[in-house]
Chains A and B, each alone.
Chain A
Amino acid sequence: MSKELIRLVNCSMAFDGELVLDNMNLYFNDSEFLTLLGPSGCGKTTTLRIIGGFITPTSGEVLFDGVRMNDIPPHLRQVNTVFQRYALFPHLNVFENVAFGLRIGRTEEKEVNGKKKKVKVRIPQDEIRQRVLEMLEVVSLKGFENRRITELSGGQQQRVAIARALVNRPKVLLLDEPLGALDLRLRKDMQSELKRIQQQMGITFIYVTHDQEEALAMSDTIVVMDQGKIQQIGTPEDIYNEPKNAFVADFIGESNILDGIMHEDYVVEFFNRKFKCLDKGFAPMEPVDVVIRPEDIDIVPMEKGQLRGTVTSVTFKGVHYDTIVDFKGFKWLIQTTDYHPVGETIGIILNPDDIHIMHKSQYSGMFGDYSSYSEEYEEMDDVTMLDEEEEDGPREDGHEE
């Protein structure tokens, strides 16, 4: 059982009266790689800055090991941060950048002659040197000690920033979109590198990103956020396979999201046809959102299909074709390795495990229609479902309290 390190209790944050973080409840475990994922402005960076101590929440509590930390300044917290554009000190070389935190004397309370006294603790030079060199080795920058920061590439600067934070042996490392400034290839390399470092050091990483692929590739736990609220917490597999609402389904990967009606357990109706599915626990005849991932759809000759549609556009994507198919005015995205030309009528087959059912939420009807892919946009009459408020009350065994 992993230990809980940090807990946010009813944390809200407002800037100029604008609510950025809305009653957030979240906890972070020891040695886990947790990702805060969401579009810009969803409150993920704000959450990170609250944990780092750079801002104090308007209301709510920040607990480290159960101790209230709201008013503790950043330099007294046992967390370190890797900043968005690294924020390395340009006037210092690589070694001095990494040694920076070790050279700052820390005041610690010690008992001297029965009295509590504040004592300045300094780390001896030899130890600083040893720890810095060790850390540079961890981030594969051995031999770069005397380089100037300006002589490093983006990826190398990134590694220095990680080493500078980790050398202080924090319990938690906060990473604020650290790979945002790198190009695609380097980003992929750094993803596995970061994961390796996290496992090697055995500490908690709290990672902020808007890149869903990054989040899926690295995380133990993903927290999907939007509009200052947590939308879903779970493992990458959970989040991808069992999205809780239309926002999550759309933000993580591509999704076709349709309106359906849950007739009974394991039976859902959409396009006036009943399908078998694996979901249960819905009210009889409850209107639901149906998610079908583009890569799960099997294309068959039209006479064998459960549904029939016409191909309206095809885009070659390397491994597969992005094929847009019109089903009675609703356009689906299907990813297939077989080429089907525009105008061809095809049939599709949906297996029960291809279908995922979600409760209606405030996001219903906003995502999941691929009509904008084609020129002739046809409006669906899905407006009727909008009046239902979000009801993602029940939560899984995850992190939300």
Chain B
Amino acid sequence: MMKRRHAASNRFFMALVFLFLYAPIFLLIVFSFNAGESSVVWKGFSLKWYGELFRDRLIMQSVYTTLLVSLLATIISTIAGTFASIGFYSMRRRVREPLMTINSIPMMNADIVTGVSLCLFFVAFFNLWGDFAGWINSIQGLITLPTRLNLGFGTLLLAHISFNIPYVILSVGPKLRQMDRNLVDAAQDLGCTWMQAFWKVILPEIKPGIVSGALIAFTMSVDDFVISYFTAGSATSTLAMQIYSMTKKRISPKINAISTLLFITVLVLLVIVNIRESHQERAALTRQTGKK
């Protein structure tokens, strides 16, 4: 009897936890399909707000910016992060460990600190650049360098690349360490240059890690708000920034619709990452037991 009651109270507690976690999102999703304008009163099912969403030029522009910056940042940070991991991998343990710790600090760091510091850094650089370009323009007349640079898509992209790289490194590193060290030696022994060995042996071995890293980076980029907010300037805005600016005006259920889409995108990406990871673990497990 006692056990039963325990189980029941456990289940009740679990339900409570999930309620608190997911009720707001559930509410948001439900009311994105509301026919009326209210976020409290249900007036029937409709896809009206989704339709309006796609007609809103500002929102579509921000979706485009988000996708573009996320894709570019993912590609660049994946390449940079992969090579960085290989660098870390060939370092000696005593050097590698502290560097890996430094690598993970930006991930732990509060987004607001990262955002503000990047913003200050860019502004400081622009000031220096202004002086430099003015000086260059004054001493010669052949080329005219722009003296005023502004925060915008470029700085947004740089910021995204910089906060994505640690995630790629963290995802590729373990795959490299799982790899038999002799594989590279073996490839070179069989006639490969280092670069050939990289393409033919290292890359296929660490590909799962690279793909996972890219997916995580993409997710991080799509869903980032704070860092983008400080580095995108006034003319560029990502989807998250657009939603934020919409909340400052009269709240329209369009926000519900776009937030639902964003939530589902990130959810799908995370599910893919998790499924991949569990697949890999299982594969690694069968590989180990298979060997014995």
Q: Give A contacts to B, CB under 8 Å.
A: 52, 54, 73-75, 79-81, 83-85, 87-91, 100-101, 104, 106, 150-151, 154, 164-165, 168
Contacts and interface: CB of A to CB of B under 8 A. Distances in A.
A101 B190 contact: yes
A104 B183 contact: no
B44 interface: no
B204 interface: yes
Nearest to A16: B92
B147 interface: no
A151 B185 contact: no
A101 B191 contact: yes
B189 A90 contact: no
B192 A87 contact: no
Nearest to B186: A87
A81 B189 contact: yes
Contact of A83 (B186, B196, B205, B290): B186
Interface string B174-190: 00000010110111111
Interface string B87-112: 00000000000000000000000000
Nearest to B190: A101
B183 A87 contact: yes
B3 interface: no
13 contacts: A54-B188, A75-B189, A79-B189, A81-B185, A83-B185, A85-B180, A90-B205, A104-B196, A150-B287, A150-B290, A154-B291, A165-B190, A168-B190
Contacts of B287: 90, 150
A87 B290 contact: no
Given A80-B190, A87-B180, 5 more contacts: A100-B200, A150-B290, A154-B291, A168-B190, A168-B191
Contacts of A104: 190-192, 196
A151 B290 contact: yes
Contact of B183 (A75, A89, A106, A154): A89
Contacts of A106: 191
Contacts of B188: 54, 73-75
B187 A100 contact: yes
Contacts of B291: 150, 154
Q: A73, A80, A83, A88: which has the most chain B beta carbons within 10 Å?
A: A83
B279 to A, nearest CB: 15
A75 B191 CA distance: 4
Contacts of A164: 190
Contacts, number: 64
Contacts of A79: 189
A154 B190 CA distance: 21
Given A90-B287, A104-B192, A84 B205 contact: no
Interface string B259-292: 0000000000000000000000000001100110
A91 B196 contact: no
B201 interface: yes
Interface in B183-240: 183, 185-193, 196, 200-201, 204-205
Contacts of A54: 185, 188-189
Given A90-B205, A91-B205, A83 B182 contact: yes
Given A75-B191, A101-B191, A150-B290, A91 B186 contact: no
Given A83-B182, A85-B182, A150-B290, A91 B204 contact: yes
Contacts of B190: 75, 80, 100-101, 104, 164-165, 168
A89 B188 CA distance: 13
Contacts of B182: 83-85, 87
Interface in B97-129: none
Contacts of B185: 52, 54, 74, 81, 83, 87
Nearest to B203: A91
Contacts of B196: 104
A74 B183 contact: no
A206 to B, nearest CB: 13
